[in-house]
């Protein structure tokens, strides 16, 4: 198939462009349904006349139906989207991109979904689905799953299908609460994931920005000790990656600490650790419960992060994690390649 696609791109590039455009439009309708024509036009950055023409085509082919609330994708349209996924993946050369990044960063695995979340928020849903399906394949009886918080990880949990017939599975938060949004905190996401699998879960009540003395006292509490032990022996750890500057601001770090991070060259953040461009840990928050050595012993790390603006942060956090699978989008992946190429 790979050779046929290359030939098609050379001989009939205009048809390949049309296919990709129509796939993007149909997928956008699917993830936002019901959706109106004007909203669709704005989401895609396409003129209303172009959108109107494509809508007429989809309607004639019975791929969408139009009602008062807006457009919806039909069952036939949904089948087309699912069947085209792998085709579009190859058409965009994403398999080659995956291989390149996996080798350059020394990762266990990588999955790249088409699109860029910085330009199209519907890509988040695609990202969440890809991560959820990958996670589902890894979970077995007696698994211990640790999970961090954040909106990207919430997308994974939201797209996680219900799983039956699993025994003795435990879900634990990999860190305490952060920020004011309860629905994206690790505790909330751990509970949601556990309910979808009929698993048990435990909560970890450790706020951010504790003093070292206060943290030490909490970690010595019996319940907290047990949860931390579960995290350390987990089989799977799901986590997000953020830009160092954005995460430091969200955590309310002092001006002095922000200046220190900038001076030391912090570009990425994960698990509460801040990384420089070479992947070295240069700083950490006070509420670390997963030490850097324990990370190497966890069988399956799953990093979920996307967007061109996060490319440098992803490189910094994922460099040489041979037990990590990175799930990202095309926007971040292509920028990762640009950054690596420039350095070389």
As beta bridge partners, residue 304 has: 240, 327
The model's pLDDT over 245-279, given as tens digits with 9 standing for 90+, comes to 888 888 777 788 888 888 888 999 988 789 999 88
User: Does residue 303 have a cis bond before it (omega within 30 degrees)?
Assistant: no
- How far is residue 231's CA from residue 329's CA, in Å, rounded to a whole number? 28
**Closest listed residue to residue 176, CA positions, set 287, 286, 251, 302:** 287
Q: Closest by alpha carbon to 248, among 215, 282, 290? A: 282
CATH topology of domain 2-90: Arc Repressor Mutant, subunit A (1.10.10)
pLDDT in tens, 19-68: 888 998 998 899 888 999 888 888 888 888 888 899 999 999 999 999 88
* pTM, full prediction: 0.85
Q: Which residues pair with 335 in a beta bridge?
A: none
Separation of CA 14 from chain center: 32
User: Which of these, 274, 275, 328, lies nearest to 111 by C-alpha position?
Assistant: 328
Sketch the domain layout of the chain as residue ranges. 2-90, 94-343
- Second CATH level (architecture) for the domain 94-343: 3-Layer(aba) Sandwich (3.40)
Nearest one of 154, 216, 215 to 179, comparing CA atoms:
154
Mean pLDDT of successive 10-residue stretches along the chain, which has 344 residues: 65 79 90 88 84 91 91 93 86 91 95 90 90 94 93 94 90 72 86 94 72 61 75 91 87 80 90 87 69 80 95 92 94 96 84
CA distance 51 to 71: 12
Burial class of residue 305 in the structure, from the number of CB atoms within 10 Å of its CB (0-12 exposed, 13-18 middle, 19+ buried)? buried
């Amino acid at each position: 198939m790979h050779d046929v696609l290359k030939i098609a791109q050379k001989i009939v590039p205009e048809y390949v462009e049309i296919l990709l455009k129509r796939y993007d439009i149909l997928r956008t309708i699917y993830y936002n349904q019901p959706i109106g024509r004007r909203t669709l036009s704005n989401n895609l950055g396409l003129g209303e006349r172009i959108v109107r023409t494509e809508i007429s085509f989809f309607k004639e082919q019975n791929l969408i139906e139009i009602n008062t609330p807006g457009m919806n994708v039909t069952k036939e349209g949904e089948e087309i989207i699912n069947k085209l996924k792998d085709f579009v993946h190859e058409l965009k050369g994403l398999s080659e991109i995956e291989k390149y990044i996996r080798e350059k960063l020394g990762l266990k695995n990588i999955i790249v979904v088409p699109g860029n979340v910085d330009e199209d928020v519907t890509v988040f849903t695609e990202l969440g689905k890809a991560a959820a399906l990958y996670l589902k394949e890894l979970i077995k009886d007696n698994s211990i799953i640790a999970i961090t918080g954040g909106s990207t990880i919430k997308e994974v949990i939201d797209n996680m299908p219900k799983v039956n017939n699993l025994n003795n599975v435990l879900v634990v938060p990999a860190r305490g609460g952060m920020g004011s949004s309860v629905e994206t905190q690790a505790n909330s996401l751990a509970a949601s994931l556990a309910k979808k699998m009929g698993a048990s879960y435990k909560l970890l009540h450790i706020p951010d920005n504790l003093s070292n003395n206060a943290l030490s006292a909490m970690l010595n509490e019996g319940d907290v000790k047990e949860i931390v032990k579960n995290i350390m022996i987990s089989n799977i750890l799901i986590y997000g990656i953020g830009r160092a500057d954005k995460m430091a601001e969200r955590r309310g770090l002092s001006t002095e600490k922000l200046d220190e991070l900038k001076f030391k060259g912090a570009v990425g953040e994960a698990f509460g650790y801040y990384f420089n461009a070479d992947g070295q840990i240069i700083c950490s928050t006070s509420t670390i419960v997963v030490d850097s050595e324990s990370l190497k012993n966890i069988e399956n790390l799953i990093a979920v992060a996307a967007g061109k603006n996060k490319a440098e942060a992803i490189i910094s956090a994922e460099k040489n994690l041979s037990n990590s699978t990175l799930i990202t989008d095309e926007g971040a992946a292509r920028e990762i390649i640009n950054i690596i190429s420039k350095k070389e």
